[in-house]
Amino acid sequence: MPDYPFLKGHGTENDFVLLPDHDGSVHGDLSPDEMAQRVRALCDRRAGIGGDGVLRVVREDGGWFMDYRNSDGSVSEMCGNGIRVFARHLVDEGLVDGSAPIPVGTRDGLKTLTVDGDLITADMGTPRVLGETTVAVPGHAWVARHVDMGNPHAVAFVDSLDDAGHLLDPPEHDPATYPEGVNVEFVVRRGDRHVAMRVHERGSGETRSCGTGACAAMVAAAVADGLGPGSAYRVDVPGGTLTVTWTEDDRVLLTGPAVIVARGTTSL
Ligand SMILES: N[C@@H](CCC[C@H](N)C(=O)O)C(=O)O
């Protein structure tokens, strides 16, 4: 297998392997099974590079497209931290003008990013606040809020983040509500418009941060607080702090750091 280029980056310690594949000639001809196998090998934290997911950097219709994969090789519609790392890569490499809004295509449609020094903001679009559902881990069960951020989330407000336990297995959830699986956020209050969370990500397990999850947690908290569009929350995650703003015109903006930490080649 010939070597091919990769980069490694993270946003609040949600970490990704980036695969530049502008014209699709490096990975684009792999079958779905072969691609999933490559993603698992790259994300392996002992035998590979290590990551919560893979961002394939593709040029499409004259723009950029983020082909996101979870560490188990499954595909997701959207990744809020990943797209901010993706934008950092484009700016670092001079592939886009970082002083202007950066459009990036995803399976959840076109997103726009803006860079302000160390911070990158992703316009995540309009959230869908859906009904209540149930999630459970051994010894605990909660009524959770179903929030769709392009990908599916269940947000449970808990007394203590420790109540979520070791999170080695996916939390139990309603398969009728989430036929494709779900990302589950466990959220506590830290103060006025300030929450903290842990997350179990579909396809990746417990991670140190989840951008779409932080947005879902913020939206659920704002709704529970009798707020809505026109509010902003600080969301602490194990890997750092994100700011989530729900704008008056019903869009959710995700702001936080995004860095590239390594570049190299691999044959994995
Ligand atoms: N870490 C991501 C979310 C990645 C996708 C998720 N695991 C899913 O399957 O929907 C984020 O920062 O949003």
ipTM: 0.99
Domains delineated in the chain: 4-123+257-266 (3.10.310.10), 128-250 (3.10.310.10)
Q: How far is CA 222 from CA 141, 145, 185, 244, 245, in A?
A: 22, 12, 15, 11, 10
pLDDT of 2 reads 82
Does the pLDDT at position 1 exceed 80? no
Q: Do residues 51 and 16 touch, judged by C-beta distance below 8 A?
A: yes
Q: Name the residue of 183, 185, 237, 244 whose CB sits within 8 Å of the most ligand 1 atoms, as the mutation to test its pocket.
A: 183
Dist. CA 35–CA 40, nearest whole Å: 9
Q: What is the mean pLDDT of residues 177-205?
A: 98
Q: Band the pLDDT of 180: cuts 50, 70, 90.
A: very high
Instruction: Name residues contacting ligand 1 (CB within 6 A).
Output: 14, 53, 70, 76, 79-82, 151, 183, 201-204, 210-212
Tell me: pLDDT of 162 over 90.
Answer: yes
Name the average pLDDT for the chain.
Answer: 97
Q: What percent of the chain has pLDDT over 70?
A: 100
pLDDT-derived band at 231, boundaries 50, 70, 90:
very high
Q: Are strands 252-257 and 240-246 parallel, antiparallel or unpaired?
A: antiparallel
CA of 44: how far to CAs of 72, 119, 191, 252, in Å? Answer: 9, 28, 37, 32
Which residues are bridge partners to 263 per DSSP? 7
pLDDT recorded at residue 28: 85
Mark out the alpha helices in the chain (DSSP H runs). 32-43, 80-92, 211-224
- What is the pTM for the complete model shown? 0.97
